[in-house]
């Protein structure tokens, strides 16, 4: 495996093999398989789960990680082209990326959406520029429009929970959040669930419809797999018979990059906070998923997070396990 | 071993076995015994020695560490219950702790005393709340009221120095410090020395007596071991025949959380600074110990720190060695 | 090997053996040779390449690193002697260094020039004080006046590029930079190239001649090896027949520590920026080297950095490889 950037680059069979490998490595550790191997991690955006799940994943296979993070003295990393660097920035990304990559056998890169230009973010323009500087295997650790490691972990989590692929019903719900968030997680989740063959409903308030590019990619995946993709702003109809609700938040595409305008069409705090009342006509054992970080009392109530519906800790742990599978496939030479 | 939170949870025999194991691992390295094992470290308070002594300890046994520290983008970690998280904090400790724990085979947690409420700190209320979220083996890396890794290292250091357990005389002395410091180290040290069977004298100015809960716990340990615990504000009588002085500083329990009031009863700078003059009637080879960081010219003079009495570098190195023993016992399955 | 502080401490034969070992370890990994070994890294100055090239180097040999860096809560590390530490600084370097060293099998230290007193910096006064506190093998990761790991990497890079030692011509050129930079890299590079037996020309504007101590040390090396050292402010004569240009920037020794005075004698931005026009009478395949970070459009143009002359990424990767050789020699016991 030369890169892991998008679940869409893999067949359903290949994804199932990765999930199976994650399960095998959880059951039967291989603590030497990556001995002497190094994964470079470049975080241009902050991280908690992604950082330590990758560190732990490499360590459990006998390898190591080298981390460059925003907390380090790299705030001045320049990325503009053709610039005369006579200001604060001491280093350009055109040198930093290949150098960091050269110290690893593979590189993981995280760069959140800039949320300035919708087309740039939908096309993952920044991440494509970054990886064009890399001549090693690479992993997308969340870009403007994708988060494939999260989606692979979620696929495994859905399997673990016994939620059927064909005929399984997942609601991807917008929830309240104080900030306009990127499309990476909702886009990746929607595509993943559709590719898994599920009937997916996007539940969101007016003004927060996902962009066509995201919906169309998911619909194509559904065509492949026999799943379906619909959208609504009605909670009750969305939740009808649902087996899992995946909560997230995202910006209004209509007012992209304009928080003030978005705030004017945004529902009130508390109106889109997942609570037990949402589950009235869902499957009785309908589960709750979230990629975290999650805001208590804002996106979801304590009752749900602390109750039996929540699968979020197992979901987070699956990040480590599927990344072990990725790294095994990428670096073990087998 | 499922947890390491308090020396009081262990028998004297068990402690001696841990010290012996530390010694064995120093003499005969076991660089593969923890291969593929991961220790998660969560620092809610800063660290130098603790961080790298744990990292080195795991590495020397073939394992790895994953670190979440205050320098990282986790400043907004929320810990209050029932909160509506619509402010800066993006993540709650109720998710962060189990997630971090899930990436490790064990977790170490550091959380200094808040120094707002004396009873809360004496009861280690915050640390107990944090570990209630963990379903893995855990290690106290310094809480409001305990620092068991330091105490185990100090036990070994006293052994290394040839200071007798039964009949050995240790002075735990308050020293000047610009800030009111937590009770964790004095409480842990006093209990450790008493449990080791030593005759311990707490030397402190008026107004800086250790709280009853701390003194009583140490007296109980002394009853078990045949040691004794006394207190005084008279340096000369305290130092009479002492074989080791353990310097530290702590807040006034009388004015807990009120620095201004404490400053009014505090001795003058220089009056409680350990110097060669203190050792007039001590054993001629009386040694100096300190957990560090230590303030030169404030808590102790350069002459002592740079002279033959000082055992502090060996004491710090013992942190690594005893933690190797702990981790070996906790994670090797043997 | 007990320390690696200066190429001048090694014979040419020993340096060639280190380069050969670096090459062997690149071709034939030894992922277990340093298992259980720990390298402590103390950064008193920031780092990107040095940090992760050392981490990767240790990891590839099966060892580990523990890092103390300026990003951590150590900003208050005191270094003055005889001080009464009643201010912000909580820890003195006299304790911090031996403690950090005690957790490793070796220690690497970085401390940039203070640029207050020229003689202090030329004599590497601070670094000498720091290492006087260490009783372990140590590595200079860039001090006021040396950067031996960079020079060893550069030696290997020159070999890799096929640039002859005897009779090879290298230009060490000053370039524009907004800040007065230390002499460490130019001093180390000049000495390395002279010791390798090359004909070295220092190209710099008036007022930016390297101090006599630096020039004389390089001339002595040239005497040993059969190389030569000259200096000029004329680009065309310097570049005549050159096979490699090594760009860097450094402070004016005439106005050391006085940026305002230096700025008055400094050439204009753009006048000392390496560009294709510089290479008119150089060897046709004359290469460009730089230790990085490098400022685009200021020290060198995009055209050079992105073109076929540039060897800087390979040069940076050689940092990792030669450090593997150092660490292997220092810690493997073979």
Q: Is A326 among the domain residues? A: yes
Please indicate, yes or no, whether residues A296 and A221 belong to a single structural domain of this protein: yes
Please indicate, yes or no, whether residues B50 and B140 belong to a single structural domain of this protein: yes
- By C-alpha distance, which of C4, C58, C54, C60 is closest to C316? C54
Please indicate, yes or no, whether residues C93 and C39 belong to a single structural domain of this protein: yes
Q: Which residues of A touch C69 (CB under 8 A)?
A: 72
- Asked if residue A334 has pLDDT above 80, the reply is no
Please indicate, yes or no, whether residues A302 and A325 belong to a single structural domain of this protein: no
Q: Does C1 touch chain A (CB under 8 A)?
A: no
Q: How does residue A69 score in pLDDT terms, banded at 50, 70 and 90?
A: confident
In this structure, what token pair is assigned to residue B311? 């055992």
Please indicate, yes or no, whether residues A33 and A130 belong to a single structural domain of this protein: yes
Report the gap between the CA of A106 and the closest CA in chain C (Å). Answer: 12
Please indicate, yes or no, whether residues C116 and C190 belong to a single structural domain of this protein: no
- Asked if residue B74 has pLDDT above 70, the reply is no
CATH number of B190's domain? 3.40.50.1370
Report the gap between the CA of C229 and the closest CA in chain A (Å). Answer: 30
Please indicate, yes or no, whether residues A86 and A222 belong to a single structural domain of this protein: no
Please indicate, yes or no, whether residues A257 and A169 belong to a single structural domain of this protein: yes
Please indicate, yes or no, whether residues B172 and B268 belong to a single structural domain of this protein: yes
- Angle, helix B12-27 to helix B312-331, in steps of 10 degrees: 100
In this structure, what token pair is assigned to residue C32? 């277990």
- Asked if residue C73 has pLDDT above 70, the reply is no
Report the gap between the CA of A331 and the closest CA in chain C (Å). Answer: 13
Question: What residues contact B206, with CB distance under 8 A and at least 6 apart?
Answer: B233, B265
Q: Which residues of C touch A83 (CB under 8 A)?
A: 296-297
Which pLDDT value is given to residue B334? 72
Question: What residues contact C287, with CB distance under 8 A and at least 6 apart?
Answer: C161, C163, C243, C244, C245, C309, C310, C311
Report the gap between the CA of A65 and the closest CA in chain C (Å). Answer: 8
Q: Is B65 helix (H, G, I), strand (E, B) or coil?
A: strand
Q: Chains with 3 or more CB pairs closer than 8 angstroms to B?
A: A, C
- Asked if residue A149 has pLDDT above 90, the reply is yes
Which pLDDT value is given to residue A75? 55
The chain-wide mean pLDDT, for chain A, equals: 96
Question: Stretch A41-48: mean pLDDT, rounded?
Answer: 90
Cβ pair B24, C44 in contact under 8 A? no
Q: How does residue A73 score in pLDDT terms, banded at 50, 70 and 90?
A: low
- The Cβ of residue B283 has, within 10 Å, a number of other Cβ atoms equal to 16
Which pLDDT value is given to residue A138? 98
Question: Stretch A250-264: mean pLDDT, rounded?
Answer: 96
Q: Can you give the residue range of the structural domain that contains A176?
A: 162-310
Q: Does A83 touch chain B (CB under 8 A)?
A: no
Q: Is A130 among the domain residues? A: yes
Which pLDDT value is given to residue A208? 98
Are B38 and A59 in contact (CB < 8 Å)?
yes
| Residues listed for chain C | 334
Q: Which residues of B touch C135 (CB under 8 A)?
A: none
Question: Stretch C301-330: mean pLDDT, rounded?
Answer: 98
In this structure, what token pair is assigned to residue B259? 């620095």
Q: Does A178 touch chain C (CB under 8 A)?
A: no
Which pLDDT value is given to residue B313? 98
- Asked if residue B75 has pLDDT above 60, the reply is no
Q: Is A153 among the domain residues? A: no
Q: Which residues of C touch A91 (CB under 8 A)?
A: 48, 292-294
Report the gap between the CA of C31 and the closest CA in chain A (Å). Answer: 4
- The Cβ of residue A333 has, within 10 Å, a number of other Cβ atoms equal to 9
Q: Does C53 touch chain A (CB under 8 A)?
A: yes
Are C59 and A68 in contact (CB < 8 Å)?
no
Q: Which residues of A touch B92 (CB under 8 A)?
A: 294-296
- Asked if residue B199 has pLDDT above 90, the reply is yes
- Write the pLDDT tens digit of every residue in C44-63: 988 889 999 999 999 999 99
Report the gap between the CA of B112 and the closest CA in chain A (Å). Answer: 21
Q: What one-character DSSP code corresponds to residue B62?
A: T
d(CA C126, CA C74): 18
- Asked if residue B55 has pLDDT above 90, the reply is yes
Q: Please, what's the b/e burial string for B297-328 (b: 16 or more CB within 10 A of its CB; e: otherwise)?
A: bbbbbbebbeeebbbbbbbbbbbbbbbbbbbb
- By C-alpha distance, which of C219, C220, C243 is closest to C231? C219
Q: Is A166 among the domain residues? A: yes
- Asked if residue A70 has pLDDT above 80, the reply is no
Chain C nearest-CA residue for A62: C62
Torsion angle, CA of B95/B98/B101/B102, rounded to 10 degrees?
Answer: -100
Q: Is A155 among the domain residues? A: no
Q: Is B205 among the domain residues? A: yes
Burial class (CB in 10 A: 0-12, 13-18, 19+), A32: middle
Which pLDDT value is given to residue C74? 59
d(CA C146, CA B228): 56
d(CA A200, CA A190): 7
Question: Stretch C182-207: mean pLDDT, rounded?
Answer: 98
Q: Which of C30, C71, C316 sits opposite A99 (nearest CB)?
A: C316
Which pLDDT value is given to residue A74? 59
Q: How does residue C38 score in pLDDT terms, banded at 50, 70 and 90?
A: very high
Q: What one-character DSSP code corresponds to residue C249?
A: -
Question: Stretch B309-334: mean pLDDT, rounded?
Answer: 96
- Write the pLDDT tens digit of every residue in B116-145: 999 999 999 999 999 999 999 999 999 999
Using the structure block, give the residue that is written with the tokens 């960081």: B293
Which pLDDT value is given to residue A150? 98
Q: Which residues of B touch A310 (CB under 8 A)?
A: none
For chain C, the domain total comes to 2
Which pLDDT value is given to residue C47? 87
- Write the pLDDT tens digit of every residue in C121-135: 999 999 999 999 999
- Write the pLDDT tens digit of every residue in A283-323: 999 999 999 999 999 999 999 999 999 999 999 999 999 99
Using the structure block, give the residue that is written with the tokens 């719900």: A173
Are A56 and B68 in contact (CB < 8 Å)?
no
Q: Does C132 touch chain B (CB under 8 A)?
A: no
Chain C nearest-CA residue for B58: C36
Q: Is C13 among the domain residues? A: yes
Which pLDDT value is given to residue C264? 96
Which pLDDT value is given to residue C34? 98
d(CA C176, CA C309): 20
Please indicate, yes or no, whether residues C122 and C262 belong to a single structural domain of this protein: no
Question: What residues contact B191, with CB distance under 8 A and at least 6 apart?
Answer: B7, B8, B151, B214, B217, B218, B221
Are C87 and B178 in contact (CB < 8 Å)?
yes
Please indicate, yes or no, whether residues A248 and A279 belong to a single structural domain of this protein: yes
Q: Is C157 among the domain residues? A: no
Chain A nearest-CA residue for C294: A91
d(CA C320, CA C307): 23
- By C-alpha distance, which of B179, B206, B199, B270 is closest to B240? B199
Question: What residues contact C203, with CB distance under 8 A and at least 6 apart?
Answer: C171, C172, C173, C174, C231, C232, C233, C234, C235, C238, C239
Which pLDDT value is given to residue C334? 72
List the single best residue of A293, A323, A328 to mutate versus B (max B Cβ within 10 A): A293
Please indicate, yes or no, whether residues C139 and C266 belong to a single structural domain of this protein: no
- Asked if residue A85 has pLDDT above 80, the reply is yes
Q: Model's pTM, two decimal places?
A: 0.97
């Amino acid at each position: 495996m030369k890169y892991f950037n998008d679940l869409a680059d893999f067949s359903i069979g290949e994804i199932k093999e990765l999930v199976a490998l994650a399960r095998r490595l959880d059951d039967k550790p291989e603590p030497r398989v990556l001995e002497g191997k190094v994964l470079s991690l470049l975080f241009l955006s902050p991280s908690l789960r992604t950082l330590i799940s990758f560190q732990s994943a490499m360590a459990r296979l006998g390898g190591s990680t080298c981390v460059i993070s925003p907390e380090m003295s790299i705030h001045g990393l320049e990325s503009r082209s053709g610039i005369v660097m006579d200001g604060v920035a001491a280093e350009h990304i055109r040198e930093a990326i290949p150098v960091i990559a050269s110290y690893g056998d593979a590189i993981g890169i995280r760069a959140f959406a800039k949320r300035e230009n919708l087309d740039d973010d939908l096309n993952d323009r920044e991440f494509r520029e970054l990886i064009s500087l890399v001549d090693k295997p690479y992993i997308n650790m969340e870009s403007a429009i994708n988060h494939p490691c999260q989606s692979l972990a979620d696929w495994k989590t859905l399997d673990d929970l016994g939620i059927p692929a064909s005929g399984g019903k997942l609601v991807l719900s917008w929830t309240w959040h104080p900030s306009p968030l990127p499309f990476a997680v909702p886009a990746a989740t929607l595509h993943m669930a559709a590719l898994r063959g599920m009937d997916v409903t996007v539940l969101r308030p007016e003004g927060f419809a996902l962009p066509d590019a995201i919906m169309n990619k998911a619909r194509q995946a559904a065509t492949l797999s026999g799943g379906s993709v619909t959208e609504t702003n009605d909670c009750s109809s969305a939740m009808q018979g649902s087996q899992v609700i995946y909560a997230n938040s995202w910006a209004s595409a209509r007012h992209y990059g304009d928080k003030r305008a978005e705030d004017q069409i945004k529902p009130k705090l508390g109106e889109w906070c997942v609570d037990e009342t949402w589950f009235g006509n869902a499957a009785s054992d309908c589960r709750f998923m979230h990629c975290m970080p999650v805001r208590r009392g804002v996106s979801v109530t304590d009752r749900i997070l602390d109750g039996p519906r929540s699968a979020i800790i197992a979901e987070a742990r699956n990040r480590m396990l599927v990344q072990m599978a990725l790294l095994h496939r990428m670096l073990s030479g087998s």
